[in-house]
């Protein structure tokens, strides 16, 4: 790998303006300042519901932009909430679009880490697990390191930021795992 910063596309699986998961991605961005170039994907709410009739020549611009962002990144970092014990529908929709066409979608061979934050004590653990399985099913190379931040609303500082050292250390560990996974993927190809 070169001395260039790894480009990571960060995706929050929530549309909520005050999303704990987007806040967690911003914390990862703060931790990674010097070693990684993390950009946060902002188009989740623009994606139409997955419909195979829209593939090919009919592919919506928002989907083209999503797939280009995934392909152009060295890795993807997904931060997922947990809705009704599962991966949120909007995130599953994004993954469905990123998986197409089957066998050669944007996620195929892409190093991808999955983390999550939730106001519950379980830290979106079911959604992190489910989303990880989806990433593997669509051909992504799963980063084994994870963060599952429970009681997220209680962990924010007075500025609305996840600033405690344990969270920073956990995010740093995930970013190191991304770098190692990308390195292994590059070595194999």
Measured CA to CA, the distance from residue 181 to residue 189 in angstroms comes to 12
The predicted structure's pLDDT at residue 180 = 96
Provide the phi-psi class of 43: left if phi over 0, else alpha when psi is between -120 and 50, else beta. alpha
- In this prediction, residue 2 has a pLDDT band, given cuts at 50, 70 and 90, of low
**6-188 belongs to which homologous superfamily?**
Flavodoxin domain (3.40.50.360)
Tens-digit pLDDT profile for residues 70-101: 999 999 999 999 999 999 999 999 999 999 98
Q: What are phi and psi of 114, to 5 degrees?
A: -125, 125
**Residue-wise burial string across 81-114, b where 16 or more C-beta atoms lie within 10 A, e elsewhere:** bbbeeebbebbbbbbbbbbbeeeebbbbebbbbb
Calculate the CA dihedral of residues 92, 44, 61, 135 and round it to 10 degrees. -30
Domain parsing of the chain, residue ranges: 6-188
The pLDDT, as a whole number, for residue 1 is 46
Rounded to two decimals, the pTM is 0.95
Question: pLDDT of 89-144, one tens digit each?
Answer: 999 999 999 999 877 899 999 999 999 999 999 989 999 999 999 999 999 999 99
């Amino acid at each position: 790998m070169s001395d260039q910063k790894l480009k990571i596309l960060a995706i929050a699986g929530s549309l909520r303006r005050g999303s704990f998961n987007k806040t967690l991605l911003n914390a990862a961005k703060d931790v990674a300042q010097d070693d990684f170039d993390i950009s946060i994907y902002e188009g989740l709410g623009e994606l139409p519901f997955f419909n195979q009739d829209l593939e090919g020549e009919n592919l919506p611009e928002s989907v083209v932009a999503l797939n280009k962002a995934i392909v152009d990144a060295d890795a993807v970092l997904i931060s997922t909430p947990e809705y009704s014990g599962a991966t949120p529908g909007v995130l599953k929709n994004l993954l469905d679009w990123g998986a197409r066409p089957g066998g050669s979608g944007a996620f195929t061979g892409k190093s991808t880490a999955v983390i999550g934050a939730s106001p519950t004590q379980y830290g979106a653990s079911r959604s992190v697990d489910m989303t990880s399985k989806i990433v593997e099913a669509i051909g992504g190379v799963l980063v084994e390191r994870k963060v599952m931040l429970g009681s997220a609303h209680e962990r924010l500082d007075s500025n609305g930021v996840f600033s405690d050292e344990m969270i920073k250390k956990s995010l740093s560990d995930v970013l190191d795992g991304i770098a190692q996974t990308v390195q292994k993927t590059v070595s194999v190809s």
